[in-house]
Amino acid sequence: MKNVLIIGSTGQIGSELTMKLRGIYTKGNVVAGYIPGAEPKGELKESGPSTVVDITNAQQIADAVDKYQIDTIYNLAALLSAVAEAKPQLAWKIGVGGLFNVLEVAREKGCAVFTPSSIGSFGPETPKDKTPQDTVRNPRTMYGVTKVTGELLSDYYFRRFGVDTRSVRFPGLISYVTLPGGGTTDYAVDIYYSAAKGEKFVCPIAAGTFMDMMYMPDALRAAIEIMEADPAKFVHRNSFNIASMSFDPEIIYHKIQEYCPDFRMEYQVDPLRQGIAESWPNSLDDTCAREEWGWKPEYDLDAMTRDMLEKLRARFNR
């Protein structure tokens, strides 16, 4: 039986991961941790227990772990890249201070921990194409600094204290359920909303800027499969490159036009997001994840586009 605590359960990943885990661990508790002001609603609220867990408050984490006899923590609390540049102190407090609290509770109470890293953990000196698993990092953003620190801290807790820490470097995640907030890759979500509503899209990222992206069902599977994997073959732990597709704004625009011929896009490049995007890789090499725990994506750009447009058009009655 798995008793799981999701910290940040109402965010872009958490809202879907919590529901998916509740469908899998039906005999355990899948507890939705949230901060006041971001309470679970609807199905997320009705389908299982929820409790206030502010990641900056170690006692709240420990109390939730005790109350629900938690054995696995999904730590999804973070500020995304563009917001983290506006609030670097808060990004560190949540991304590193918060993770430290989670790892300490996990050490004391014997929990496994998943903490996502990101393509944002790489920097301008990193090889751009098919970025290897182990390579130069040197991120220039606070988001990247917290992600590299988080990876190192998680590996440290595994080696030093035996805490079962595991994670993946997520690409930009695309979903029709919960909007992301303040990321550099958010344009690749927003563009589908504009297309489904029949509106023109104003793109903040310049043509020719490639980044790795992934459809949410694959990302959720990755987060669950790595925590379920037999660690016997692990050479790495924190964090594995995973990948499924890489595109620039022109490629996704033309793909959407195959299904919405009247859809139009223009550019109004945001210098902050563009600078961040240019410092990140074009595409990651995910061979280690494939070899060490069997990672394999299911969605490519075409399959994702069909599903996104179908779901969003239904929502907007178009």
Q: Which residues are catalytic?
A: 143
Report, in Å, the least distance between residue 147 CB and ligand AKB: 8
Q: Which is nearer to ligand AKB, 143 or 176 (CB)?
A: 143
* Residues in 160-189 at the binding interface with ligand AKB, rule: CB under 6 A: 170, 172, 180, 183-185
* Extended strands (E) in the chain: 4-7, 30-34, 50-52, 72-75, 112-114, 117-118, 165-166, 168-170, 172-174, 201-203, 211-215, 240-241, 245-247, 265-267
Report, in Å, the least distance between residue 174 CB and ligand AKB: 9
Report, in Å, the least distance between residue 216 CB and ligand AKB: 12
Q: Among 80, 111, 163, 223, which residue interacts with ligand AKB (rule: CB under 6 A)? A: 80
Q: Which is nearer to ligand AKB, 72 or 185 (CB)?
A: 185
Q: ω into residue 239 within 30 of 0, thus cis?
A: yes
- Assess contact for 81 and 183: CB atoms under 8 A: yes
Position 141 contacts ligand AKB (CB under 6 A): no
Q: Which is nearer to ligand AKB, 48 or 172 (CB)?
A: 172
Tokens of 265: 């896009």
Q: Which single residue brings its beta carbon nearest to ligand AKB?
A: 183
- Judged by CB under 6 A, the stretch of 56-64, 115-123, 131-139, 148-156 that binds ligand AKB is 115-123
Q: Which is nearer to ligand AKB, 68 or 187 (CB)?
A: 187
- Report the alpha-carbon distance of residue 295 to residue 300 in Å, rounded: 15
Longest C-alpha distance within the chain, in Å? 58
- At residue 194, what is the residue type? S
- Judged by CB under 6 A, the stretch of 56-64, 114-122, 243-251, 304-312 that binds ligand AKB is 114-122
Report, in Å, the least distance between residue 102 CB and ligand AKB: 19
- Assess contact for 173 and 186: CB atoms under 8 A: no
Torsion of the alpha carbons at 144, 215, 271 and 146, rounded to the nearest 10: -10
Per CB under 6 A, residues contacting ligand AKB are: 80-81, 118-120, 143, 170, 172, 180, 183-185
